[in-house]
A = this chain, B = another copy of it.
Amino acid sequence: MHYRLALLGFGNVGKELAKLLLSKRNELEEQHNITYSVVGIATAKHGVAIDPDGIDLDRALKIPDLTKLSVRQMPLDAFEFLRQCDADVLFENTPVNYDTGQPAVDHLNTALELGMHAITANKGPVVHAYKQLKDLAKKNGVNFYFESTVMDGAPIFSLFREALPGANLLSFRGILNSTTNMILTLMENGESFEQAVTYCQSIGIAETDPSGDIDGWDAAVKVAALATVLMGIPLKPQQVTRKGIRELTAQDIAQAVKSGKRWKLVCSARLEGGAIQAKVGPEQVAPGSPLFTVDGTTSIVQFETDVLGALSVIEADPGPHTTAYGLFADFLNAIKKNEAA
């Protein structure tokens, strides 16, 4: 089977996806009988390329102006781009918008309407339009997947969807924001909050305005996404009881270390009588907890279900390439179901 792919957004993650697609090309063909061509790449600042015969990904990764690879006129907007691409799969990687999920929601909506599988690493659409997009996907016989929105490429949504059938999630608890976990780890090593933030900015894991991480918004969005998808309880980030790490002092950190504990920004949610208690906040974690050894950018989530003891997943060393793998896995899972159906 041959698949035509469209990439909306071609930043770090989009580029890593292109590299992964290139490096897995032979393996896909030989082991899975799958071939692909990238028929469209759209960026905000580096132009748009459309080529029904397939864009040379190697060149796309090098060239500063993608328009030079296009055989079509520049589309008016993302929606015209999607219509012109006539792709089977959209990878949506535009920047996240915590408030509304837009314009990613509309991009995904259009792709699904056009009969494409819609895949995104963007958390916005999951917390703002999960049900709508999932229902639309079902109606059109395609899939809406978003594995990379929580813990990068580590399988979380697919774990429940594909590997834990018949299990009901009762609660979860974890460390889901890498930046704050790195800051807390650095502060344990004696760095000041400001030094730690500056370091995180220098290695590209904190934004110029780091408040989305530090005030717990990113973590709250992830809690909302997990609750919405895995517990079936639509939850907005604003409904998550949220406290960031801004008020933690060097003294707090040192005191915890002295008593054999560690401060962690803990994400949690629990179903109780059909209602949900969801929370993000700093907690002192003791050595017996699996959260205790989670350092730096590593993340963890511990699931309590009705069928197993506590089940934890830990992901170390995340980066744009692991986010790209989540998109790639979504692609393979989406077409697997499609081929079977």
Q: Which residues of A contact B (CB under 8 A)?
A: 20, 24, 27-28, 32, 152-155, 158-159, 161-167, 287-290, 292-293, 295, 302, 307-319, 321-322, 325, 328-329, 332-333, 336-337, 340-341
CB distance from A126 to the nearest CB of B (A): 18
Cα–Cα, bound, A308→B311 (Å): 19
Residue in contact with A293 in the complex, picked from B152, B163, B290, CB distance below 8 Å: B290
Copies in the complex: 2
Q: Which residues of B contact A333 (CB under 8 A)?
A: 162-163, 165
Give the residue among A308, A312, A332, A341 with the most B Cβ atoms within 10 A. A308
> Which of B153, B154, B293, B340 is close to A337, meaning CB atoms less than 8 Å apart?
B340
Q: A308 contacts B293, CB within 8 Å?
A: no
Q: Are B307's CB and A153's CB within 8 A?
A: yes
Q: Are B313 and A312 in contact (CB under 8 A)?
A: yes
A27 CA to B305 CA in the complex, in Å?
15
Given the complex, which residues of B lie within 8 Å of A24, measured CB to CB? 166
Contact indicator A314/B336 (Cβ below 8 Å): no
Residues on B with C-beta less than 8 A from A152 are: 308
Q: Is the CB of B313 within 8 A of A309?
A: no
Counting chain B CB atoms within 10 Å of each CB, the highest count among A155, A310, A337 belongs to: A155
**Is the CB–CB distance between B162 and A163 below 8 Å?**
yes
* B-chain residues with CB within 8 Å of residue A164 when the two chains form the complex: 155, 329
B312 touches A325 (CB 8 A): no
Q: Which residues of B contact A161 (CB under 8 A)?
A: 163
Closest B residue to A305 using CB positions: B325
Which residues on the B side are within 8 Å of A32 (C-beta)?
A: 166
Residue of B nearest to A20 (CB): B307
Q: Which residue of B lies closest to A287 (CB)?
A: B293
Return the chain B residue nearest A304 by Cβ: B316
Residue of B nearest to A319 (CB): B309
Q: Are A314 and B317 in contact (CB under 8 A)?
A: no
**Across-interface contacts of A314 in B (CB, < 8 A):** 290, 302, 310-314
Asked, given contacts A162-B158, A337-B340, whether A167 binds B325 with beta carbons under 8 Å apart, the answer is yes
**Bound Cα distance from A307 to B318, whole angstroms:** 10
Closest CB pairs A-B (n = 5): A309-B317, A162-B162, A340-B340, A155-B163, A165-B332
B-side contacts of A311, CB under 8 Å:
154, 313-316
Q: Check B292–A293 contact: CB distance below 8 A.
A: yes
What are the residues of chain B within 8 A of A325 when measuring CB–CB?
167, 307-308
Distance, CA A152 to CA B311, complexed state (A): 11
Residues on B with beta carbons closer than 8 Å to the beta carbon of A166: 24, 27-28, 32, 328-329, 332
Given pairs A164-B329, A307-B322, A312-B314, 12 additional interface contacts (CB within 8 A): A152-B308, A154-B311, A155-B159, A162-B163, A165-B336, A167-B329, A288-B295, A308-B322, A310-B314, A310-B315, A311-B314, A312-B312
